[in-house]
Amino acid sequence: MNGRLITRRDEVLLEAIEFAVERHHGQWRKGTKVPYVLHPLNVGYLLLQHGCPEEVAVAGFLHDTLEDTVTTVEELRERFGERVAWLVQQVTEPDKSQPWEVRKRHTVEHLRRVQDEDVLLIACADKLDNLQMIREGMRTHGVEVWERFKAPLPAQRWYYTTLMEIFQQRLTREPGATLAARTMEVARQVFGE
């Protein structure tokens, strides 16, 4: 391998990537033929790209494992440590059986109150990747892209607009300020505001 040494940091990041690929195997992005695992991989990559710490990027790669797979908190704790497991818990919707609006209101209130900036960074990168996927869907499918989602366009606009306000108000230091600004830019492209 071109003589480059694999560092402990590389090993941890690769382990998180492999874990996400294994756990999200067979899942697809809503209404597409795109493997779902590309989303958490993009989230982790965005966090690395913006200079976030290793544990934050690892949690980004794993951010949907509790919500969308059979993964347990204990398993994350054993493999990736207490901090990563806690971060993933913080960005996991507590009860997917609840209606969309209830879940999203919970997320909004949680992100308004949470004291740990790393949680906001992961949530912001998650929303940035979702918005980028929606933007690409709009380019290829037009407004039909909204039919993929459980909530209609006005509800989606409310959710993302509210989150953008939270990110802009709370992520004022780097790397969060740049990540929030980038997310806001894509949100404006998607929602035309």
Cβ–Cβ < 8 Å for 35, 24: yes
Single out the catalytic residue among 67, 75, 93, 117.
Answer: 67
- DSSP result, 89-144: HHTS-S-TTS-HHHHHHHHHHHHHH---HHHHHHHHHHHHHHHHHHHHHHHHHGGG
Asked about 67 being catalytic, the answer comes back as: yes
Tokens representing 38 are 């590309």
Cβ–Cβ < 8 Å for 111, 120: yes
Single out the catalytic residue among 68, 75, 93, 117.
Answer: 68
> Any idea which residues carry the catalytic annotation?
67-68
